[in-house]
Chains A and B, each alone.
Chain A
Amino acid sequence: EDQVTQSPEALRLQEGESSSLNCSYTVSGLRGLFWYRQDPGKGPEFLFTLYSAGEEKEKERLKATLTKKESFLHITAPKPEDSATYLCALHKGAGGTSYGKLTFGQGTILTVHP
């Protein structure tokens, strides 16, 4: 069965204290791994898509990386406005009933203190 596990469940950082969030997965035939940011009371906001091991993408203070078993969201010198829940999700490749459906992790709640 496809599984997506995010760790830690919650992370508290001081402003400027860099860290990483982890998303480990077990799936046969990964078709894409997605990172979303979700602010309280809002819908998930798309950040990145990664398709193959070794791929990296960056946006401001965020960098996402992908290996064959996990993805990391690195946050460099975070600011209080980076506080949010970060979700990862994956698409499985063709074949079987899961095709085209996103499987989400439980999320990591990030709090950045000034």
Chain B
Amino acid sequence: DAEITQSPRHKITETGRQVTLACHQTWNHNNMFWYRQDLGHGLRLIHYSYGVQDTNKGEVSDGYSVSRSNTEDLPLTLESAASSQTSVYFCASSEVAVTDTQYFGPGTRLTVL
């Protein structure tokens, strides 16, 4: 079955380190998204991509970057991790139209000490 996976599922890192969270989908979806979920803020969009070589900033993009070299993967990089980036991160994808239903991965819980 097609699916969307994230790795690692849990990560502990130190302030200032570079961290990369992986997202892989086997649906051949054009669109991919990264969100963070925090108590009191709900789900907030970090970055998104509407196709290979396309990336765009969401509402909370500072300190994060993404790159899209193929259809299946959209890795999220924290350039220099900060304690404020401790959160649960979700990747999502949607088929063709930008308003198609988004399907979410299982999440990565990141702790920055």
Q: A44-B90, A101-B48, A106-B42 given as contacts; is B105 within 8 A of A49 (CB)?
A: no
B32-55: contact bitstring with A at CB < 8 Å (1 yes, 0 no)?
010000000011010010100000
Known A91-B99, A100-B48, A100-B99; further 17 A-B contacts with Cβ < 8 A: A36-B104, A42-B106, A43-B90, A43-B104, A43-B105, A44-B90, A44-B104, A46-B101, A46-B103, A87-B42, A99-B98, A99-B99, A101-B45, A101-B48, A101-B58, A102-B45, A106-B42
Taking a contact as CB atoms under 8 Å apart, the answer to whether B98 and A100 are in contact is: yes
**Size band of the interface chain B makes with A:** 10 to 19
A101-113: contact bitstring with B at CB < 8 Å (1 yes, 0 no)?
1101111000000
Give the distance in Å from the alpha carbon of A100 to the alpha carbon of B31 in the complex. 10
Taking a contact as CB atoms under 8 Å apart, the answer to whether B107 and A43 are in contact is: yes
* Of A49, A101, A104, A107, the contact of B101 (CB 8 Å cutoff): A49
Asked if B65 is an interface residue, CB under 8 A from chain A, the answer is no
Look across to chain B and name the residue whose beta carbon is closest to the beta carbon of A6.
B42
Q: Which residues on B sit within 8 Å (CB–CB) of A99?
A: 98-99
Asked if A58 is an interface residue, CB under 8 A from chain B, the answer is no
Q: Which residues on A sit within 8 Å (CB–CB) of B92?
A: 43
* Of B42, B99, B105, the contact of A32 (CB 8 Å cutoff): B99
Look across to chain A and name the residue whose beta carbon is closest to the beta carbon of B102.
A102
Q: Which residues on B sit within 8 Å (CB–CB) of A91?
A: 99
Q: Which residues on B sit within 8 Å (CB–CB) of A34?
A: 101-102
Look across to chain B and name the residue whose beta carbon is closest to the beta carbon of A100.
B98
